[in-house]
Amino acid sequence: MNVRRILVIDDNADAADLLGAIMAMEGHVVEVAHGGREGLAAAANFLPDVVFLDIGMPEMDGYQVAIELRRNPLMIAARIVALTAWGDDKSRARAVECGFDAHLVKPAKIESLLSEAILVRPAK
């Protein structure tokens, strides 16, 4: 298996911790953050391969976090996966504009989460 560095950013602590635990059980190295600003700080130190990012968070939403992550040259190769309750076309289009690579709607299937965790972002 390809071990990945995975960052989970979600203001719902239970959801974030559960996803982090699942990814750790699969052998990945995991960091969990419970908000946008905390997630940006974690990303700068942890340098994840994959970020599972909630969109609907207070103070700093996932769109803003994704934009900031993409501004960091060290995060160019990281895959950013939206993991959100927002599955409408407008939300999906905005996610692409903000730098997300994939969009999963909660509750996502474990198989989908595990598949996203091992994908590599194509060079751009």
Q: Angle at which helices 62-71 and 36-46 pack, to 10 degrees?
A: 30
pLDDT the model gives residue 1: 62
Give the 3-state secondary structure of residue 107. Answer: coil
Its pTM stands at 0.96
CATH architecture of 22-46+54-109: 3-Layer(aba) Sandwich (3.40)
- Parse the chain into domains and list their residue ranges: 22-46+54-109
pLDDT at residue 35, as a whole number:
96
pLDDT of 123 reads 75
- Rounded distance between C-alpha atoms, residue 57 and residue 72, angstroms: 21
Q: Fill in the DSSP letter of residue 36.
A: H
**In which residue ranges of the chain is pLDDT below 70?**
1, 124
The single-letter code of the amino acid at 44 is A
Q: Please state, in angstroms and rounded to a whole number, the distance separating the CA atoms of residues 119 and 49.
A: 9
Per-residue pLDDT reduced to its tens digit, 28-58: 999 999 999 999 999 999 999 999 999 999 9
Residue 56, pLDDT score: 94
